Structures are given as structure tokens and as C-alpha cells.
Amino acid sequence: MESNVGLSMDEDLENIHRVVAAKKEKFNFFEGLYELVDLFTMTVLLLVFLMFVFRPVKVVGGSMLPTLEENQRLITAVNNGFFNSIKRGNIVVVNQPSYTGLSIIKRVIATEGQTVDIDFTSGKVFVDGELQKEDYIKEPTHLPEGVQFPIVVPDGHVFVMGDNRNNSSDSRNPGIGMIDIRYISGRN
């Protein structure tokens, strides 16, 4: 009889250990599930935040050479109110309707109220009568494209040009013209 009692206690202890182990596994499963849901939620929130703050873009064409190469990928700050101060020299992504029907990436040369003048013979660009130091351009600006200069940038607009001035359709082209800042979707 003593051996039966000992086996019974051992069996009881084994059963208790099995129940405790099963509860631990169940607890670990739910703890792991909670951590997984928490990680997923944080990832989704981070992606949503990044969509409203930063946006990836791909450079199409050679109008921004030598600064940006064709097919280069960029991360731009979204123009959403947080980062809405567009300054001269910024590289911007423009979605303004134009004859191209495409988004364009260009450099801001002048902002509202400024006067732009280009001497196409010498290739020099002036903003408010001041010669611009443009060490980022591929070559001097010799291609007029149709806009008459000097020209004043209207309120709420910017004047943009590509860094590859003689291979760029930009604000010098009446089909594109001045860029309404509401159509600037991103900037560097």
C-alpha cells in the first residue's frame, strides 16, 4: 500500500507540474501575442507618421544634373504645414498641372515678390538685381524657353529651374511657368 500512495503522490505532483507548465505556455503565448500586436501597431503608426513627414521620390530625366542623377531616389520632406517654408535654393517636387502631366524636380531660384532676370548671352541669373552664385549648375543658362525677363514672382508662387539649365523645362517655359506653392509636394 505504501508504494501505491507514493505513486499517487508522484502522479499528483506530475499532474500539478503539467498544469503549471501548460499555464506558463498559455501565459507566454498571450505575452508573445501582445508583444507582436504592440510591435505591429508601432510599425503602422511609424509608417503613417513617415508618410505625412517624408516621402520617397525618384528622379526622372537629366534636368537636375549634376546635382541629381537620373533614377536616383530621394527622401523629401512633405510640404504639409510642418515644413512649409520654401526657400531659395531648395530642391522641390512639383505636382502643378502642366503640359508634361508629370511631377517635376527643380531648384527654387526666387520666391514671391522677387524679380528674376536672365542674361542668356552670358548665361548669368540675377535675383533682385544680384548676380546668383550657382556653383551647382552644369553650365550657364543660355536657353530662354519663351518667358520674357525680367519677371516678378507673384504672391504664393516660386520660380524654379533645373540645374542642367540647357536641358530643363522649368519656369522659363510658359507651359510650366511660376509654381504655385500649394503644388509643391516635397522639398529637400
Catalytic residue numbers read 63, 106
CA distance 118 to 52: 37
Under 8 Å between Cβ of 94 and 179: yes
Classify residue 114 as exposed, middle or buried by CB count within 10 Å of its CB (0-12, 13-18, 19+): middle
Residue 110's closest CA among 154, 158, 155?
A: 158
Phi, psi of 39 (to 5 degrees): -65, -45
Q: Are strands 104-111 and 91-94 parallel, antiparallel or unpaired?
A: antiparallel
